[in-house]
């Protein structure tokens, strides 16, 4: 019910506040007393058409506020929920009419469109004159009036819930049928693609991980090549160790004839041989620690080639292959089990 009406700067009214008690309220007066101004102001608050002529002369804007006490499950509450507005049980409808013709609408101090304000106002108040169309003959109100007369509000809520559930089930059924039709058209292709991707077994983020590992391996390969070349020079077939050892043996046989002359040279050559053998050991250890396995690098290259080839084939990024494989597998499962699922959904939608 209407609890309060406040009017500011509308036509001839500078300020007016009316509190309404429960029951019937009657405003009477002679012709020209201002009853029509009150109704025009009230209609403005309910979402009626605004007009700059409604603003009192000399004012920049006019304003009308109507406060309603609304029972639970009132149709206006449903409109509030649909528009994400707060429902506190009290509805404060406010309309601001600017002198330049623009208007602003508010409900519970939240800005709304005039259309929403009008929708709420229509559920709260019926304004008519002697020859106006009555809501009673408006077919849009018949069902609500009939339900209210028969005290079927609770049943209406239950039916709405059942209807929503049926509509959701119908949507699921339509989507399932569309999926089955699509899957049937592409059945052979889907089975082949699903099996190919299943064998490939792509993982999300796999390309990045493999590329990083390949970079490390390729750097390790370059290091290993340099280490092998150095080891071949120190201890391979071209190593000077054998020649140095043979020269030391020859000098040692001559050492007795001139020890002071030969022995320092022999010691230096022995030290060189030891140094080369030690270098060979270090190089061998470095090769082991170089973290390069040519077979692993080959496997990485082959895996990247396979992933990128599949990505090109199915026109998707490599990281999208895993999701694509899952989607194709679901489509194949839909083909295989679609008929049974269709029966379940058809039963739920009836």
Report pLDDT digits (tens) over 269-320: 777 777 777 877 777 777 666 666 778 888 999 999 999 999 999 999 999 9
Token pair 């709405």 is found at 160
Q: Calculate what percentage of the chain has a pLDDT beyond 90.
A: 24
* Tokens, residue 244: 């140095």
CA-wise closest residue to 183 among 315, 324, 327, 317: 327
Check whether residue 126 and residue 212 sit in a common domain. Answer: no
Residue 99 within any structural domain of the chain = yes
Average of pLDDT values for 79-95? 83
* Tokens, residue 163: 């209807």
Residue 61 within any structural domain of the chain = yes
Check whether residue 222 and residue 112 sit in a common domain. Answer: no
* Tokens, residue 59: 């004012």
Question: Is the per-residue pLDDT at 31 higher than 90?
Answer: no
Check whether residue 21 and residue 113 sit in a common domain. Answer: yes
Are the CB atoms for 88 and 32 separated by under 8 Å? no
Angle at Cα 71 formed by Cα 66 and Cα 75, nearest 5°? 80
How far is it, in rounded angstroms, from Cα 116 to Cα 124?
Answer: 13
The domain boundary, picked from 132, 152, 184, lies at 132
3-class DSSP state for residue 225?
Answer: helix
Instruction: State the pLDDT confidence band at 333, using cuts at 50, 70 and 90.
Output: confident
3-class DSSP state for residue 81?
Answer: helix
Residue 139 within any structural domain of the chain = no
β-bridge partners, 93: 66, 107
Q: Judge if pTM exceeds 0.85.
A: no
The domain boundary, picked from 97, 132, 167, lies at 132
Residue 182 within any structural domain of the chain = no
What CATH number is attached to the domain comprising 98?
3.40.50.300
Question: Is the per-residue pLDDT at 129 higher than 70?
Answer: no
Check whether residue 207 and residue 341 sit in a common domain. Answer: yes
Check whether residue 125 and residue 249 sit in a common domain. Answer: no
* Tokens, residue 48: 């009626």
Residue 272: give the domain boundaries.
199-346
Number of domains in the chain: 2
- Sequence-distant (6+) residues with CB within 8 A of 252 are 262, 266
User: Mean pLDDT of all residues in the chain?
Assistant: 82
């Amino acid at each position: 019910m209407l609890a309060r009406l406040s009017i500011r700067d509308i036509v001839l009214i500078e300020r007016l506040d009316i509190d309404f008690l429960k029951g019937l309220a009657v405003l009477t007066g002679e012709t020209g007393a201002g009853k029509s101004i009150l109704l025009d102001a009230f209609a403005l608050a309910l979402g009626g058409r605004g007009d700059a002529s409604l603003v009192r002369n000399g004012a920049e804007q006019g304003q009308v506020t109507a406060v309603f006490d609304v029972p639970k499950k009132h149709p206006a509450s449903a409109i509030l929920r649909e528009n994400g507005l707060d429902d506190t049980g009290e509805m404060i409808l406010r309309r601001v009419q600017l002198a330049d013709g623009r208007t602003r609408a508010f409900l519970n101090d939240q800005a709304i469109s005039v259309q929403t304000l009008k929708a709420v106002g229509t559920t709260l108040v019926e304004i008519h004159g002697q020859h106006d169309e009555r809501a009673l003959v408006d077919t849009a109100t018949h069902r609500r009036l009939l339900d209210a007369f028969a005290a079927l509000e609770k049943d209406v809520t239950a039916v709405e819930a059942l209807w929503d559930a049926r509509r959701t089930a119908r949507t699921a059924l339509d989507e399932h049928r569309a999926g089955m039709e699509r899957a049937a058209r592409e059945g052979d292709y889907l089975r082949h693609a699903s099996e190919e991707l299943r064998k490939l077994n792509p993982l999300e983020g796999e390309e990045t991980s493999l590329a990083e590992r390949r970079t490390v391996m390729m750097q390790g390969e370059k290091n290993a090549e340099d280490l092998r070349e150095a080891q071949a020079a120190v201890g391979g077939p071209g190593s000077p160790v054998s020649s140095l050892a043979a020269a030391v043996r020859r000098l040692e046989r001559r050492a007795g004839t001139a020890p002071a002359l030969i022995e320092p040279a022999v010691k230096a050559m022995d030290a060189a041989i030891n140094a080369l053998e030690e270098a060979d050991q270090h190089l061998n250890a470095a090769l082991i620690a170089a973290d390069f396995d040519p077979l692993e690098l080959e496997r990485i290259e082959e895996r990247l080639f396979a992933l990128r080839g599949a990505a090109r084939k199915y026109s998707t990024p490599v990281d999208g292959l895993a999701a694509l494989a899952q989607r194709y597998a679901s489509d194949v499962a839909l083909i295989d089990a679609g008929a049974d699922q269709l029966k379940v959904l058809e039963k739920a939608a009836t």
